[in-house]
Chains A and B, each alone.
Chain A
Amino acid sequence: MTINYKYANLLRSGGFGLNVFSDDDVEQIHLTTLDVLWNIGLKIKSARARDILGDHGCVVDKKTDIVKIPANLVEDAIQSAPATYRAHAIDPENDYVAGGKRTGFVNFGEAPALMDPMTRKVRSATKKDVDDTVRFVDTLENIIGWERPLTAQDLDVHMASIYNTYAFLKYSSKHGFLGIYTVEDFRAAIRMGAVVAGGEDKLSNSPLFTFSADPVSPLVLTEEGTDVLIEACTFGVPIKINGLGLAGGTTCVDLASTLVTHNAEVLGSITLGQLVRKGAPMVYAGSTSMMDQRTTLAAMGAPEMAMISAALAKLAQFYKMPSWVGGG
Chain B
Amino acid sequence: MIYGVGMLDSALTWDYASALLQNEFLDMVLKIVEGIQVSEANIAYDVIKDVGPGGEFITHDHTYKHCRRLSQTRLMNRNTREAWEEDGSQDIVDLAYEKSMDILNNYRPKPRPERVQRELDRIYAEFEEEARERKARAVA
Chain A residues proximal to chain B, CB less than 8 Å = 12-17, 96, 98, 103-115, 117-118, 120, 122, 125, 129, 132-145, 147, 149-150, 156, 158-159, 162-163, 166, 169-173, 177, 184, 188, 191-192, 195-196, 283, 297-298, 300, 309, 322-328
With a CB–CB cut-off of 8 A, which chain A residues contact B29? Answer: 105
Are B2 and A159 in touch, CB under 8 angstroms? no
* Residue from A12, A17, A172 having most chain B Cβ neighbours under 10 A: A12
Least Cβ–Cβ distance between A197 and chain B, in angstroms: 10
Out of A16, A136, A297, A309, name the residue touching B16 (CB < 8 Å): A136
Is B116 an interface residue when CB atoms closer than 8 A count as contact?
yes
With known contacts A105-B26, A297-B10, A325–B2 Cβ distance under 8 A: yes
Is B78 an interface residue when CB atoms closer than 8 A count as contact?
no
Least Cβ–Cβ distance between B63 and chain A, in angstroms: 21
Are A327 and B3 in touch, CB under 8 angstroms? yes
* Residue from A105, A109, A118, A120 having most chain B Cβ neighbours under 10 A: A105
* Residue from B4, B13, B23, B109 having most chain A Cβ neighbours under 10 A: B4
Is B5 an interface residue when CB atoms closer than 8 A count as contact?
yes
With known contacts A117-B100, A118-B101, A172-B109, A326–B14 Cβ distance under 8 A: no
- Other A-B contacts than A104-B1, A322-B1, A325-B2, 5 sampled, CB-CB below 8 A, are A13-B36, A134-B109, A135-B103, A142-B30, A326-B3
A323–B49 Cα distance when bound, in Å, is: 45
Pick the interface stretch among B52-60, B65-73, B82-90, B120-128.
B120-128
Is B81 an interface residue when CB atoms closer than 8 A count as contact?
no
A256–B103 Cα distance when bound, in Å, is: 44
Least Cβ–Cβ distance between B4 and chain A, in angstroms: 3
A115–B5 Cα distance when bound, in Å, is: 14
Is B32 an interface residue when CB atoms closer than 8 A count as contact?
yes
Q: What 8 pairs between A and B have smallest CB-CB spacing? A: A327-B4, A15-B35, A108-B7, A114-B14, A142-B26, A106-B3, A115-B15, A107-B5
Out of B2, B20, B36, name the residue touching A103 (CB < 8 Å): B2
With known contacts A135-B103, A162-B124, A327-B3, A12–B110 Cβ distance under 8 A: no
With a CB–CB cut-off of 8 A, which chain A residues contact B109? Answer: 134-135, 138, 171-173
With a CB–CB cut-off of 8 A, which chain B residues contact A297? Answer: 10
Least Cβ–Cβ distance between A118 and chain B, in angstroms: 7
With known contacts A141-B23, A170-B117, A106–B5 Cβ distance under 8 A: yes
Are B1 and A15 in touch, CB under 8 angstroms? no
Out of A141, A145, A196, name the residue touching B116 (CB < 8 Å): A196
Least Cβ–Cβ distance between B11 and chain A, in angstroms: 6
Out of B4, B8, B14, B20, name the residue touching A133 (CB < 8 Å): B14
Least Cβ–Cβ distance between B73 and chain A, in angstroms: 14
Is B136 an interface residue when CB atoms closer than 8 A count as contact?
no
With known contacts A117-B17, A158-B131, A326–B2 Cβ distance under 8 A: yes
CB-defined A-B contacts under 8 Å, sample of 27: A12-B39, A13-B36, A16-B33, A17-B33, A104-B2, A113-B14, A114-B15, A115-B16, A135-B107, A136-B104, A140-B19, A141-B23, A142-B30, A147-B3, A149-B6, A162-B127, A163-B124, A166-B124, A170-B117, A173-B109, A173-B110, A192-B120, A195-B123, A196-B112, A324-B1, A324-B2, A327-B2
